[in-house]
Amino acid sequence: MLNFSVIGTGRVGKTLGRLFAQHKVFAISQLFSTSLEGSQRALAFIGQGQPVTELTKMVPADITLLSVPDDTFASVTQSLIDANQLKPGSILFHCSGAKSSRDLVSLCPALAQLSLQLASVHPVRSFAEPALAVSDFSGTICSVEGSPQALDVLIPAFQKIGAETVIINPEHKLLYHAGSVFASNYLVSLLDTAIAAYCAAGIAPDLAKKMAQSLAQNSLANISTLGTRDALTGPIKRGDLATVTAQAAQVAAWNTELGDLYQAFIKPTMHLAKRTSER
């Protein structure tokens, strides 16, 4: 069984470490965190691995997961190289949605001198709560790209923990990730805005949250069943542009920035409504 080390024991690192351990895909070797408390928490969660707080005390692994913020890729990878922690022929991969394996080399040119197999695997899901992510990971779509040798190992490994894998073009990684931002991050921001609008109209916060959640869940269910084109409802779908104009003005009067947000959604929604009417 190949051994697997995690560099960065945050939510993604802990979740994948536990899944690989539970499914006996890899032997979890070492868990690196800059704090002993962080690496020990990871050990308690994963159930395998040796907590490490100094890269120089690690043993090079067959597979290394770089699970750190994108902005630290270059410095952490260079530190791994300086500490001789990346053995020739081993796999180094990360789970960034925005960065590709090619970006990793661009950020840390010294990687080009090593005989490594590089890849990225982006699980299209939220890792807000690792225990929940572990329990319902099955069926998660994971977008992968990288060297053929790395993918020959990583694709079956992720499929064994329940993932559905899709190979993507590294040149389009940033645009691809924008889709995830719209579907996840901005969706949360949009619902927060909806709740704020309800509250500004006099609805109690708990009820406002319940109302926004109900509508969002119904819309998502309709998208799953009907697709976006037929799931669209509301005044733009009905062609009630007088209501849209009046509402845009009311939102802008309440909050200028959120008025701009409302306005920004009008044209895309009109285009979607037109696609619906053209069926």
Q: What is the pLDDT of residue 137?
A: 97
Hey, what are 183's tokens? 């579907």
Q: What is the pLDDT of residue 128?
A: 86
Hey, what are 235's tokens? 């005044």
Of 10, 163, 18, 24, whose CA–CA distance to 96 is shortest? 10
Residue-range domain boundaries for the chain:
3-168, 176-277
- Which stretches of the chain drop beneath a pLDDT of 70? 276-279
Name the superfamily (CATH) of residues 3-168. Answer: NAD(P)-binding Rossmann-like Domain (3.40.50.720)
Q: What is the pLDDT of residue 206?
A: 97
Report pLDDT digits (tens) over 65-74.
999 999 999 9
Report pLDDT digits (tens) over 179-215.
989 998 999 999 999 999 999 999 999 999 999 999 9
How many CB atoms within 10 Å of residue 65? 24
Q: What is the pLDDT of residue 12?
A: 96
64, 143 contact by CB (below 8 A): no
Query: Is 176-277 CATH 1.20.1740?
Result: no
Q: What is the pLDDT of residue 277?
A: 59
pTM across the whole model: 0.81
142, 158 contact by CB (below 8 A): yes
269, 236 contact by CB (below 8 A): yes
